[in-house]
């Protein structure tokens, strides 16, 4: 049985953040998620995450919520005494296990199960007790080097600070920090490591030399450095995130969606074949995009569902909402949480909705605010309409019947019901319910004073001139 240890006890001081390093978000998930998922996808039946004191509550809560019960657990390394000691703590937490133990770092978000497959295959050879991943770098400075004997066999991994010669420093093969060790051999090696090194820590890398000394076989498996790239600071976090987004765009495109290279799709998002994501589209959280949906330039969608053949026009923002079959949104629309836009409904430019349902064919095409509303089928909301849903203390609902017409620049003061087929005249302030098929008019009577405009302008100009003269006098 394959088990796994994920080392996540580092302090992450270079992140310069109060948030635990492994919980920093990257492409929609905490950094730690990717290593744990890679281990599970590679076949690990049980995973233990080694943490430092202080961050266990937040991390444990996430792991419990995200992964199947009983698969992922946590343990604490206290005090922190290096990677070798962390691996020992993790191995103890796994209990009396047999088989291979996969050990990897909690800050390698680009690592996937496919990258681990060659390691698993190499470790399955009869005479191999330790297999680890390595790669070649033009500039290996700062990394532990893989040292070999004259016959090319791995003899040890030596950390950068402990290199003893220029020949060792010139070695370009570096340790990637991913190991697969037979459980019994792992216990034996970890019991023998010591802290006689430049950092006075227990190095996990020492298991290689200890295994070789015991006469057992060690093999290094070459891998791509990009897959094993770690995160130590905010710059590296962003760099890895860009690679995750590029990977996502490529995979979605190969699966049949049309995805611009600049689209940013979180790992938590699902996009069906036939969907189109334009340049700069950002999809976040638990978002689902159905086949045939088109999301145009700059659209930002979070925790929302976009149905088949919906069209979200440029620079619209949608959060915790749903957009129905064939609906049209935007451009520059804002669907706030609780918005439910029905089939073939329209929410146009500079329209904001919140906790509002637009039924099939309803339209609000221009410059409106619809809060706490229910808009019936085929109802039309004119430009400048406001649902006055908040009185400073509580919010109330506006209900508009099917086929109703709300004229431009209307204020609908909730709680309010507009009946089916009713007509609200332009510029109305509506404070009482409007029956079905009724016309609601609320206006001050217009009074035209003939010939008065020129006299008014003269009076206003005289007052302005007087004010300027008084100001000039006071300045002198």
Give catalytic residues, as residue numbers.
366
Q: How far is CA 167 from the centre of its chain?
A: 44
Residue located via tokens 């961050």: 55
Residues 6+ apart with CB under 8 A from 389: 371, 372, 373, 395, 396, 397, 398, 414
Answer for the pair 2, 71: CB distance below 8 angstroms, yes or no. Answer: no
What is the C-alpha separation between 121 and 265, in angstroms, rounded? 32
Nearest to 53 by CA among 114, 8, 103: 8
Distance from C-alpha of 113 to C-alpha of 34, rounded to nearest angstrom: 10
Whole-number Å distance between alpha carbons of 86 and 88:
5
């Amino acid at each position: 049985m394959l088990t796994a240890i994920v080392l996540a006890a580092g302090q992450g001081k270079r992140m310069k953040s109060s948030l635990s390093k492994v919980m920093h978000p990257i492409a929609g998930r905490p950094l730690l998620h990717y290593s744990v998922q890679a281990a599970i996808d590679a076949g690990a039946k049980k995973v233990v995450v080694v943490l430092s004191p202080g961050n266990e509550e937040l991390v444990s809560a996430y792991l419990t919520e995200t992964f199947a019960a009983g698969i992922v657990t946590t343990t604490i390394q206290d005090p922190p005494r290096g990677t070798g000691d962390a691996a020992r703590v993790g191995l103890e937490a796994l209990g009396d296990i047999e088989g291979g133990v996969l050990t990897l770092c909690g800050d390698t978000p680009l690592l996937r199960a496919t990258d681990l497959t060659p390691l698993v295959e190499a470790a399955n050879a009869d005479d191999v007790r330790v297999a680890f991943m390595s790669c070649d770098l033009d500039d290996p400075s700062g990394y532990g080097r893989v040292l070999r004997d004259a016959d090319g066999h791995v003899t040890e991994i030596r950390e950068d600070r402990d290199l003893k010669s220029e020949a060792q420093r010139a070695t370009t093969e570096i340790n990637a920090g991913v190991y697969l060790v037979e459980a019994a051999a792992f216990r034996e090696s970890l019991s023998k490591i010591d802290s006689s090194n430049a950092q006075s820590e227990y190095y996990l890398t020492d298991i290689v030399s200890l295994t070789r000394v015991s006469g057992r076989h060690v093999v290094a498996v070459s891998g791509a450095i990009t897959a094993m790239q770690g995160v130590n600071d905010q710059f590296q976090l962003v760099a890895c995130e860009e690679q995750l987004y590029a990977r996502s765009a490529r995979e979605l495109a190969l699966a049949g969606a049309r995805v611009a290279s600049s689209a940013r799709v979180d790992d938590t998002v699902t996009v069906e074949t036939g969907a189109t994501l334009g340049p700069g589209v950002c999809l976040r959280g638990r978002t689902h995009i159905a086949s045939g949906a088109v999301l145009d330039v700059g659209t930002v969608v979070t925790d929302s569902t976009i149905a088949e053949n919906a069209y979200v026009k440029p620079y619209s923002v949608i959060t915790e909402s749903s957009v129905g079959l064939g609906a049209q949104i935007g451009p520059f629309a804002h669907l706030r949480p609780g918005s439910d836009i029905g089939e073939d409904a329209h929410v146009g430019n500079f329209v904001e909705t919140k906790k509002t349902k637009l039924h099939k064919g309803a339209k609000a095409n221009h410059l409106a605010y619809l809060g706490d509303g229910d808009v019936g089928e085929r109802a039309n909301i004119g430009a400048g309409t406001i649902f006055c849903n908040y009185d400073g203390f509580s919010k109330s609902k506006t209900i508009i019947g099917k086929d109703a017409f709300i004229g431009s620049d209307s204020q609908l003061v909730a709680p309010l019901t507009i009946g089916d087929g009713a007509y609200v005249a332009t510029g109305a302030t509506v404070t009482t319910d409007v029956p079905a098929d009724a016309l609601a008019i609320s206006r001050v009577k217009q009074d035209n004073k003939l010939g008065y405009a020129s006299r008014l302008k003269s009076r206003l100009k005289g007052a302005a001139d007087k004010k300027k003269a008084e100001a000039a006098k006071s300045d002198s």
